[in-house]
Chain A
Amino acid sequence: MSEPILEVTGLNKSFGPVHVLHDVDFTVRAGEVTALVGDNGAGKSTLVKCVAGIHPMDSGIVRFNGDPVSVHGPRDAAKLGIEVVYQDLALADNLDIVQNMFLGRERGGAWLLDEASMEQAARDTLASLSVRTVKSVRTPVSSLSGGQRQTVAIAKAVLWESKVVLLDEPTAALGVAQTRQVLDLVRRLAEQGLGVVLISHNMADVFEVADRIATLYLGRMVAEVPTREVTHGQVVELITAGRSGDLGLARPETATV
Chain B
Amino acid sequence: MTNQPVAAKPESGGAISDFGIDTTTQSTGEAVRDFFVRLRSGDLGSMPAVLGLGVLVLYFWTQSESFLTLDNTANLIAQGSGKMIIAMGLVFVLLLGEIDLSAGTASGVCAAVMAMHYVRAGNLVGGMGSTVFYVFVGGMLVAAVLAVIMRIWAGAVFAMVAVTIAMLGVGPNPWIEMLLALCVGTAIGVITGFLVSKIGMPSFVVTLALFITWQGVILQFIGQGGVFGIGTQPVLFSVANGNLSVLGSWILFAVGIVGYAGVVLGEHYVRVNKGLVTAPTPIVVGKVAAVTVIAALGTYAFTLNRSPNDFVVIEGVPYVVPIVLVLLVIGTYVLNRTRYGRHIYAVGGNAEAARRAGINVPKIRASVFVVCSSVAALGAIVYSSKVGSVDPQAGGLNTLLFAVGAAVIGGTSLFGGRGKVIHAVIGGLVLAVVENGLGLLQQPAAVVNIVTGLVLLLAASVDALSRRRATVAVR
A residues lining the B interface (CB < 8 Å): 52, 54, 73-75, 78, 84, 86, 88-95, 99, 103-106, 108, 110-113, 115-116, 119-120, 123, 126-128, 130-138, 142-148, 173-178, 180-181, 184-185, 188
Q: What is the CB-to-nearest-CB distance from B307 to chain A, in angstroms, rounded to a whole number? A: 44
- Given contacts A91-B350, A95-B349, A105-B358, could you give 5 more A-B pairs where the C-beta distance is less than 8 Å? A84-B356, A113-B338, A133-B6, A133-B7, A178-B2
Of B6, B16, B24, B345, which one neighbours A130 at CB under 8 angstroms? B16
Asked whether any CB of chain A lies closer than 8 Å to the CB of B20, the reply is yes
A181: chain B residues within 8 A (beta carbon): 8, 14
Given A54-B356, A133-B6: A116 and B417 interface contact (C-beta under 8 Å): no
B337: chain A residues within 8 A (beta carbon): 111-113
B354 and A92 within 8 A (CB)? yes
Q: Which of B1-44 contact A (CB under 8 A)?
A: 1-4, 6-10, 13-24, 41
Of B6, B17, B353, which one neighbours A92 at CB under 8 angstroms? B353
State A112–B267 Cα separation when bound (angstroms): 13
Which of B84-92, B138-146, B258-266, B270-278 lies on the face that meets chain A?
B270-278
Q: What is the CB-to-nearest-CB distance from A47 to chain B, in angstroms, rounded to a whole number? A: 15
Q: What is the CB-to-nearest-CB distance from A219 to chain B, in angstroms, rounded to a whole number? A: 22
A119 and B14 within 8 A (CB)? no
State A71–B358 Cα separation when bound (angstroms): 12
B277 and A92 within 8 A (CB)? no
Q: What is the CB-to-nearest-CB distance from A40 to chain B, in angstroms, rounded to a whole number? A: 20
A120: chain B residues within 8 A (beta carbon): 274, 276
Of B15, B16, B346, which one neighbours A103 at CB under 8 angstroms? B346
State A146–B1 Cα separation when bound (angstroms): 7
B3 and A145 within 8 A (CB)? yes
B9: chain A residues within 8 A (beta carbon): 177
A115: chain B residues within 8 A (beta carbon): 276
B274: chain A residues within 8 A (beta carbon): 116, 120
State A180–B270 Cα separation when bound (angstroms): 38
B1 and A73 within 8 A (CB)? no
B24: chain A residues within 8 A (beta carbon): 136
How many chain B residues sit at the interface, stated as a range, is 35 or more
State A119–B271 Cα separation when bound (angstroms): 10
Of A88, A133, A147, A184, which one neighbours B20 at CB under 8 angstroms? A133
Q: What is the CB-to-nearest-CB distance from A123 to chain B, in angstroms, rounded to a whole number? A: 7
Q: Please give me the 4 A-B residue pairs with the lowest Cβ-Cβ distance, nearest first.
A: A132-B20, A104-B357, A92-B349, A184-B14
Interface 0/1 of B314-355, CB less than 8 Å to A: 000000000000000000000001111011011011101111
Q: Which of B345-373 contact A (CB under 8 A)?
A: 345-346, 348-350, 352-359
Given A91-B350, A94-B418, A130-B15: A174 and B1 interface contact (C-beta under 8 Å): yes
Count how many pairs of residues, one from A and one from B, have CB atoms less than 8 Å apart in the complex.
Answer: 162
B8: chain A residues within 8 A (beta carbon): 130, 132-133, 177-178, 181
Q: Which residue of chain B has its CB nearest to the CB of A187?
A: B14
Asked whether any CB of chain A lies closer than 8 Å to the CB of B473, the reply is yes
Interface 0/1 of B381-402, CB less than 8 Å to A: 0000000000000000000000
A103 and B23 within 8 A (CB)? no
Max chain A C-beta neighbours (<10 A), residue from B357, B418, B474? B357
Given A94-B348, A95-B349, A103-B359: A177 and B342 interface contact (C-beta under 8 Å): no
Q: What is the CB-to-nearest-CB distance from A86 to chain B, in angstroms, rounded to a whole number? A: 7
B1 and A178 within 8 A (CB)? yes
A142: chain B residues within 8 A (beta carbon): 470, 474
A90 and B10 within 8 A (CB)? no
8 contacts between A and B (CB under 8 A): A78-B358, A91-B353, A111-B339, A116-B274, A127-B22, A133-B2, A173-B1, A175-B2
Q: What is the CB-to-nearest-CB distance from A98 to chain B, in angstroms, rounded to a whole number? A: 9
B348 and A103 within 8 A (CB)? no
Given A145-B2, A148-B2, A174-B1: A90 and B350 interface contact (C-beta under 8 Å): yes
A90 and B353 within 8 A (CB)? yes
State A104–B13 Cα separation when bound (angstroms): 34
State A138–B34 Cα separation when bound (angstroms): 13
A111 and B338 within 8 A (CB)? yes
B354: chain A residues within 8 A (beta carbon): 92, 103-104
Max chain B C-beta neighbours (<10 A), residue from A128, A132, A137? A132
Q: Which residue of chain B has its CB nearest to the CB of A124?
A: B19
Q: What is the CB-to-nearest-CB distance from B222 to chain A, in angstroms, rounded to a whole number? A: 40
A104: chain B residues within 8 A (beta carbon): 343, 346, 354, 357-359
Q: Which residue of chain B has its CB nearest to the CB of A116?
A: B274
Q: Which residue of chain B has its CB nearest to the CB of A92?
A: B349
Given A94-B418, A95-B349, A136-B277: A143 and B473 interface contact (C-beta under 8 Å): yes
Given A75-B358, A126-B19, A177-B7: A137 and B14 interface contact (C-beta under 8 Å): no
Max chain B C-beta neighbours (<10 A), residue from A146, A173, A174? A146
A73 and B358 within 8 A (CB)? yes
State A91–B349 Cα separation when bound (angstroms): 9
State A89–B474 Cα separation when bound (angstroms): 15
